[in-house]
């Protein structure tokens, strides 16, 4: 009796084991073999580092740690007294150049009147020369017939020479006045260039004055705030950071041996360590153009005699829907486990542009052939 019962139990166990193995094998064949998983994955976000564009002492800090701010909100205010003085100085320089330009325009108008006057003087001198020429010709004719004295002929000759000299002088004066117009026009062009330079300096001064008020470039949460009132801020020095929550994504570092069937748009199951029991669904968005080691501070040099092959990892960006179940709760740096469903990856071609893994459109596939 006991022997029969033992056989029944052993048969039941064997059937259960075979059923379990069969079910497990069926699950692996239909689903498991297409799943690529890694726990080398983290929540990331496009963090914005806030730093000033000008150097000045911090006069006021309006953003608190972990405060939610909107794009355009004032984060900090720098001391602007020096920048206001530069704006006033630039405005005065620009006003001076505008006044100089107006003076040159007035001089040009006056010069045109002087040219007209010099032209009239030349016309008068030429008329006087014609009269003196006529007197000289008349007196010379009379002197040849002894109808006038030699002295009168010499006087008319002197008047003619004087008139000729006066005409030459008037022509030279007119030419000089015309040349003066060219000089004034060149000076005006130079003044216009200085005016443009002053205008640019004024714009720069006003921009620097505006930049003393530091505003948020994006919506986000303030973090890592290191700025304090009285601190000397310099361009490029971090004051605080803005984390654009809930716009987060996952970067999973898969082994190179896991990428063969991985493509853009494939479904990803994401489990966050901080929220056990909740699974998010994302999609493969993009692949890094190189392995993570190539972007390290000291990339490995494998052309050595002591070479050891190490499996490389490639960062894969996974997009999460904005309205996911943990929206607003995820923070950059949290650890996650990502599992990619690669079913269908055998039939999708690798993208040829940029060296990334992805699916080609039908037209691109035909062109690639």
The DSSP line for 267-329 is: EEEEEETTSTT-EEEEEEEEE-SS-GGGGSSS-----SSS------EEEEEEE--TT-TTTTT
Q: Which two tokens stand for residue 142?
A: 């009379």
Dmax (CA) of the chain: 184
Residues 85 and 197 in one domain: yes
Q: Would 305 be classed as within a structural domain?
A: yes
| DSSP assigned state of 148 | S
Residues 65 and 114 in one domain: no
Q: Would 356 be classed as within a structural domain?
A: no
Determine the Cα–Cα distance for residues 133 and 163; give it in Å rounded to an integer: 9
Asked whether the bond before 246 is cis by omega within 30 degrees of 0, the reply is yes
Residues 122 and 75 in one domain: no
CATH number of the CATH domain containing 220: 2.40.50.100
Q: Tell the burial category of 7 from Cβ atoms under 10 Å away from its Cβ (0-12, 13-18, 19+).
A: exposed
Q: Would 74 be classed as within a structural domain?
A: yes
Q: Would 172 be classed as within a structural domain?
A: yes
| pLDDT value at residue 255 | 92
Could you give the angle at the alpha carbon of 240 between the alpha carbons of 237 and 242, nearest 5°? 125
Contacts for 23 with CB less than 8 Å, ≥ 6 apart = none
φ, ψ for residue 342 (rounded to 5)? -95, 15
User: Read out DSSP for 332-353?
Assistant: TT-EEEEEEE-TTGGGSPPP-S
Q: Would 136 be classed as within a structural domain?
A: yes
| pLDDT value at residue 357 | 41
Strands in 84-197 per DSSP E: none
- In Å, what is the CA distance from 135 to each residue of 54, 132, 147? 83, 5, 14
Length of the chain: 369
Q: Would 28 be classed as within a structural domain?
A: no
Residues 273 and 190 in one domain: no
CATH number of the CATH domain containing 190: 1.10.287
Residues 275 and 190 in one domain: no
Residues 278 and 311 in one domain: yes
Contact 284, 264 (CB under 8 A): yes
| pLDDT value at residue 359 | 40
Residues 96 and 190 in one domain: yes
Q: Which two tokens stand for residue 157?
A: 């000759």
Residues 316 and 304 in one domain: yes
Q: How many domains does the chain have?
A: 3
Residues 225 and 248 in one domain: no
Range of the domain at 302: 35-46+244-341
Which of 226, 241, 256 is where one domain is finished? 241
pLDDT in tens, the chain (369 residues): 566 667 677 667 776 777 776 665 655 555 556 688 999 999 999 999 999 999 999 999 999 999 999 999 999 999 999 999 999 999 999 999 989 888 888 888 887 888 888 888 888 878 877 877 777 777 677 666 666 666 676 677 787 788 788 888 888 887 887 878 788 888 888 888 999 999 999 999 999 999 999 999 999 999 989 899 999 999 989 999 999 988 899 999 999 999 988 999 999 999 999 999 899 999 999 999 998 888 887 787 777 777 788 889 999 999 999 888 898 889 999 999 999 988 865 555 444 333 444 443 333 333 333
| pLDDT value at residue 317 | 95
Contact 215, 73 (CB under 8 A): yes
φ, ψ for residue 277 (rounded to 5)? 90, -5
Q: Would 358 be classed as within a structural domain?
A: no
CATH number of the CATH domain containing 328: 2.40.30.170
Determine the Cα–Cα distance for residues 116 and 114; give it in Å rounded to an integer: 5
| pLDDT value at residue 23 | 60
Q: Would 354 be classed as within a structural domain?
A: no
Q: Is 98 helix (H, G, I), strand (E, B) or coil?
A: helix
From 263, 269, 302, select the one nearest 286 (Cα to Cα).
Answer: 263
| pLDDT value at residue 356 | 43
| pLDDT value at residue 29 | 55
User: Read out DSSP for 232-243?
Assistant: EE-TT---EEEE
Residues 104 and 172 in one domain: yes
Strand partners, 208: none
Residues 220 and 333 in one domain: no
From 100, 83, 102, select the one nearest 202 (Cα to Cα).
Answer: 83
Determine the Cα–Cα distance for residues 255 and 278; give it in Å rounded to an integer: 25
Contacts for 297 with CB less than 8 Å, ≥ 6 apart = none
- In Å, what is the CA distance from 286 to each residue of 207, 260, 308? 38, 15, 29
- In Å, what is the CA distance from 299 to each residue of 292, 307, 310? 9, 14, 13
Residues 90 and 64 in one domain: no
Q: Tell the burial category of 310 from Cβ atoms under 10 Å away from its Cβ (0-12, 13-18, 19+).
A: exposed
Q: Is 207 helix (H, G, I), strand (E, B) or coil?
A: helix
| pLDDT value at residue 368 | 33
């Amino acid at each position: 009796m006991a022997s029969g019962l033992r056989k029944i139990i052993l048969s039941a166990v064997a059937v259960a084991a075979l059923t379990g193995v069969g079910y497990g094998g069926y699950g692996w064949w239909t689903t498991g073999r297409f799943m690529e998983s890694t726990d080398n994955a983290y929540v990331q976000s496009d963090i914005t580092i806030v730093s000033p564009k000008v150097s000045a002492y911090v006069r006021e800090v309006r953003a608190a740690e972990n405060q939610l701010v909107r794009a355009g909100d004032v984060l900090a205010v720098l001391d602007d007294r020096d920048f206001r003085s530069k704006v006033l100085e630039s405005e005065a320089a620009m006003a001076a150049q505008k006044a100089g330009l107006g003076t040159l325009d007035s001089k040009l108008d006056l010069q045109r009147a002087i040219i007209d006057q010099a032209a009239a003087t030349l016309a008068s001198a030429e008329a006087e020369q014609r009269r003196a020429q006529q007197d000289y010709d008349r007196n010379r004719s009379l002197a040849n017939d002894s109808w006038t004295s030699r002295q009168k002929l010499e006087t008319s000759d002197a008047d003619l020479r004087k008139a000729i000299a006066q005409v030459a002088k008037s022509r030279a004066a007119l030419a000089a006045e015309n040349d003066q117009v060219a000089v004034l026009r060149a000076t005006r062009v130079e003044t216009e260039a200085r005016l443009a330079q002053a205008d640019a300096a004024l714009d720069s001064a006003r921009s620097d004055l505006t930049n003393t008020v530091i505003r948020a470039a994006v919506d986000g949460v303030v973090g890592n705030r290191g700025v304090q009132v009285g601190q000397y801020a310099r361009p490029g020095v971090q004051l605080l950071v803005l984390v654009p929550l809930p716009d987060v994504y996952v970067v999973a570092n898969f082994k190179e041996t896991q990428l063969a069937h991985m493509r853009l748009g494939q479904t990803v199951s994401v489990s966050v360590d901080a929220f056990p029991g909740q699974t998010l669904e994302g999609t493969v968005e993009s692949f890094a153009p190189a392995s993570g080691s190539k972007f390290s501070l000291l990339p490995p040099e494998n052309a050595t005699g002591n070479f050891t092959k190490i499996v490389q990892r490639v960062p894969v960006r996974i997009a999460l829907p904005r309205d996911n179940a943990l929206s607003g709760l995820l923070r950059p740096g949290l650890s996650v486990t990502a599992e990619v469903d690669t079913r269908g990856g055998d039939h999708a071609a690798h993208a040829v542009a940029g060296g990334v893994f992805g699916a080609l459109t039908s037209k691109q596939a035909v062109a690639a052939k």
